[in-house]
């Protein structure tokens, strides 16, 4: 009997191929073909059980490659976490095998082009729950540098972009191994998937003219002396007046209510530069002893508004079920103490400009940005720090989410990193500025305040819901087909 192990090894390697399409490698065009080897290997699995195993191996390869930078922190827990999360791909492996092996007629090919991407989006939706690690390395996020493709995000979020990219891969796979007119369906599907974004982008009207607002993004980088002094020096050295100065995540290490002297310094700094400061306090809250991360808007008269981070990083900022899982802190870099989460999102008024602040990990979630936009935010402002992952590809991937959030919500984005990548994007996802992780200084960006309400703003995650319905209908159809085939003929 022919060994299955070469194919299994191949699918593990093939699952890692999409890595090159993500930041920082940035070969985003390869995303449109990167899944083809996996799909071909799944289609040749001789049993559903073998397809499930190959699907799991593809998931392991994909997650381990695209989130490799977590390994030094999770240590021994990394392979376990990756293997457990990759179980989501077992069902997708069975689904892909069933649809691709049956894609011998135009109707069956069309079913594969819809069903396989729907299954992939459903996986991404489930693994995007914040307690599973959040929506890192979503396939649609590979297209962050392509505003014409990101036009799809304004309709269905990053989910619709991902659906289109996976559909193109399925179409190409059918074109390679399909038969007769089914191959024509594959070719047509790939063409439509690739062209959908640019065509939609071409039909959209220009954004209305609006004045630009100068925003200063302060990126001090790795500082071995006094961090606050370094940030104050950079802020005082602004080359021109700005409307808002943004510091990165964890830029202030003292609770300002307990340290009025620190607050006085920041208040005086705001007055001297003639602009509000949005700093980020990462400290024990006076009185409670809890640790919290808080975006704090400071003007000439002191604190004007605050937002406490609501969606915390699992294991990085809190340990779920700490009583049972607290032992992980001894073998990984998991949080030694749970941080305290905030209760609600906040829109702040900065001298007439409504901003929606979010903190680091929260930048990866489409629903949070959408909620801020629907609450009236005209500018989405992110504060981050990726010191733990400095030198890896994580900072670039985090910054790239700004383009997705801008395209989804029709709002410009400004993101300041303590360490990492600071960046800004207009309301269509066009990159306005980018400071690499290896650099430090101040990035002053004239952010156009033109914006628009998008289909995604109004209807939210309708794409994942539709994909769940598609997969459910396919499952019901498959069960009905099996039952009818088992009934004896009369």
Please, what is the average pLDDT of the chain? 92
The model's confidence at residue 311, banded by pLDDT at 50, 70 and 90, is very high
Q: Are 191 and 180 found together in one domain?
A: yes
Q: Are 225 and 374 found together in one domain?
A: yes
Q: Is the pLDDT of residue 489 over 70?
A: no
pLDDT single digits (tens) 4-26: 889 999 999 999 999 999 998 88
Is 243 part of a structural domain of the chain? yes
Q: Are 53 and 154 found together in one domain?
A: yes
pLDDT single digits (tens) 93-129: 999 999 998 788 899 999 999 999 999 999 999 999 9
Q: Are 423 and 467 found together in one domain?
A: no
| Residues 117, 395: Cα–Cα separation, whole Å | 28
The model's confidence at residue 485, banded by pLDDT at 50, 70 and 90, is low
Q: Are 428 and 470 found together in one domain?
A: no
Write the secondary structure of the chain as one string of H (helix), E (strand) and C (coil).
CCCCHHHHHHHHHHHHHHHHHCCCCCCHHHHHCCCHHHHHHHHCCCCHHHHHHHHHHHHHHHHHHHCHHHHHHHCCHHHHHHHHHCCHHHHHHHHHHHHHHCCCCHHHHHHHHHHHHHHHHHHHHHHCCHHHCCCCCCHHHHHCCCHHHHCCHHHHHHHHHHHHHHHHHHHHHHHHHCCCHHHHHHHHHHHHHHHHHHHHHHHCCCCCCCCEEEEEEEECCCCCCCHHHHHHHHHHCCCCCCCEEECCCCCECCCCCCCHHHHHHHHHHHHHHCCEEEEEEEEECCCCCCEEEEEEEEECCEEEEEEECCCCCECCCECCCHHHHCCHHHHCCCCCCCECCCCCCCCEEECCEEEEEEEHHHHHCHHHHHHHHHCCCCEEEEEECCHHHCCCCHHHHHHHHHHHHHHHHCCCEEEEECCCCEEEECCCCCEEEEECCCCCEEEEEEEECCCCCCHHHHHCCHHHHHHHHHHHHHHHHHHHHHHHHHCCCC
Q: Are 383 and 249 in contact (CB under 8 A)?
A: yes
Which pair of tokens denotes residue 230? 């370094």
Q: Is the pLDDT of residue 35 over 70?
A: yes
Q: Which of 200-204, 349-353, 456-460, 485-489 has the lowest mean pLDDT?
A: 485-489
Which pair of tokens denotes residue 125? 């939706």
Cβ neighbors of 34 (< 8 A, separation 6 or more) are 17, 18, 20, 21, 169
Is 261 part of a structural domain of the chain? yes
> What CA–CA distances, in Å, run from 57 to 70, 83, 88, 306, 311?
19, 9, 11, 45, 30
Is 315 part of a structural domain of the chain? no
Is 397 part of a structural domain of the chain? yes
Mean pLDDT of 267-278: 96
Q: Are 142 and 166 found together in one domain?
A: yes
pLDDT single digits (tens) 400-434: 999 999 999 999 999 999 998 999 999 999 999 99
Is 104 part of a structural domain of the chain? yes
Q: Are 153 and 252 found together in one domain?
A: no
Q: Which of 76-80, 355-359, 368-372, 446-450 has the lowest mean pLDDT?
A: 76-80
Range of the domain at 429: 212-310+345-459
Please count the other Cβ atoms lying within 10 Å of the Cβ belonging to residue 94.
23
The pLDDT of residue 324 is: 66
Q: Are 428 and 466 found together in one domain?
A: no
pLDDT single digits (tens) 149-160: 999 999 999 999
Number of domains in the chain: 2
Q: Is the pLDDT of residue 321 over 90?
A: no
> Which CATH number covers residue 299?
3.60.110.10
With 0-12 / 13-18 / 19 or more C-beta atoms within 10 angstroms meaning exposed / middle / buried, residue 89 is: buried
Is 108 part of a structural domain of the chain? yes
Q: Are 55 and 97 found together in one domain?
A: yes
pLDDT single digits (tens) 213-247: 999 999 999 988 899 999 999 999 999 999 999 99
Mean pLDDT of 270-286: 93
Q: Are 46 and 93 found together in one domain?
A: yes
Q: Are 200 and 220 found together in one domain?
A: no
The model's confidence at residue 488, banded by pLDDT at 50, 70 and 90, is low
Q: Is the pLDDT of residue 178 over 60?
A: yes
Is 329 part of a structural domain of the chain? no
Is 22 part of a structural domain of the chain? yes
Please count the other Cβ atoms lying within 10 Å of the Cβ belonging to residue 482.
9
The pLDDT of residue 67 is: 93
Q: Is the pLDDT of residue 1 over 60?
A: no
Q: Is the pLDDT of residue 490 over 60?
A: no
The model's confidence at residue 484, banded by pLDDT at 50, 70 and 90, is low
The pLDDT of residue 74 is: 83
Q: Are 99 and 151 found together in one domain?
A: yes
């Amino acid at each position: 009997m022919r060994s299955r192990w070469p194919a299994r090894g191949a699918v593990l390697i093939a699952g890692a191929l999409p890595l090159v399409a993500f930041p920082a490698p940035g070969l985003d065009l390869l995303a449109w073909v990167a899944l083809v080897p996996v799909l071909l290997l799944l289609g040749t699995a001789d049993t559903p059980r073998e397809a499930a195993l190959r699907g799991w191996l593809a998931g392991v390869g994909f997650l381990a490659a695209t989130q490799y930078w977590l390994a030094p922190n999770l240590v021994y827990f990394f392979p376990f976490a990756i293997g457990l999360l990759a179980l989501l791909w077992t069902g997708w492996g069975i689904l892909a095998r069933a649809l691709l092996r049956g894609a011998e007629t135009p109707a069956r090919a069309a079913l594969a082009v819809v069903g396989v991407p729907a299954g992939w989006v459903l996986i991404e939706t489930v693994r995007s729950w914040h307690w599973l690690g959040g929506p890192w390395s979503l396939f649609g996020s590979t297209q962050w540098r392509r505003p014409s493709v990101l036009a799809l995000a304004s309709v269905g979020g990053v989910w619709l972009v991902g659906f289109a990219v996976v559909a193109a891969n399925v179409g190409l796979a059918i074109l390679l191994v399909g038969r007769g007119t089914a191959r024509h369906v594959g070719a047509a599907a790939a063409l439509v998937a690739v062209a959908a974004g640019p065509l939609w982008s071409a039909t959209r009207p220009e954004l209305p003219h609006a004045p630009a607002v100068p925003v200063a993004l302060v990126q001090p980088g790795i500082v071995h002396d006094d961090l606050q002094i370094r940030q104050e020096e950079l802020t005082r050295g602004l080359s021109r007046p700005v409307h808002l100065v943004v510091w990165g995540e964890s830029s202030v290490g003292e609770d300002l209510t307990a340290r009025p002297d620190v607050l006085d310094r920041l208040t005086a700094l705001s007055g001297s530069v003639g602009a509000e400061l949005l700093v980020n306090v990462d400290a024990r809250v006076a009185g409670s002893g809890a640790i919290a991360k808080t975006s704090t808007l400071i003007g000439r008269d002191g604190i004007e508004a605050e937002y406490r981070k609501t969606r915390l990083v699992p294991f990085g900022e809190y340990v779920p079920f700490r009583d049972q899982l607290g032992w992980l802190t001894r073998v990984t870099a998991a949080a030694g103490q749970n941080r305290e989460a905030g209760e609600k999102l906040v829109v702040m008024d900065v001298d007439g400009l409504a901003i929606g602040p979010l903190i680091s990990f929260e930048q990866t979630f489409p629903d949070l940005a959408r909620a801020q936009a629907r609450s009236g935010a005209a500018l989405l402002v992110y504060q981050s720090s990726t010191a733990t992952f400095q030198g890896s590809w994580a900072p670039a991937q985090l910054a790239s989410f700004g383009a997705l959030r801008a395209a989804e919500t029709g709002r410009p984005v400004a993101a300041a990193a303590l360490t990492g990548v600071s960046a800004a994007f207009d309301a269509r996802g066009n990159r306005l500025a980018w400071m690499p992780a290896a650099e430090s200084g101040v990035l002053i960006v004239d952010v156009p305040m033109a914006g628009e309400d998008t289909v995604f703003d109004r209807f939210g995650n309708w794409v994942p819901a539709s994909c769940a319905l598609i997969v459910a209908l396919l499952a019901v159809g498959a069960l009905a087909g099996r039952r009818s085939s088992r009934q004896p003929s009369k």
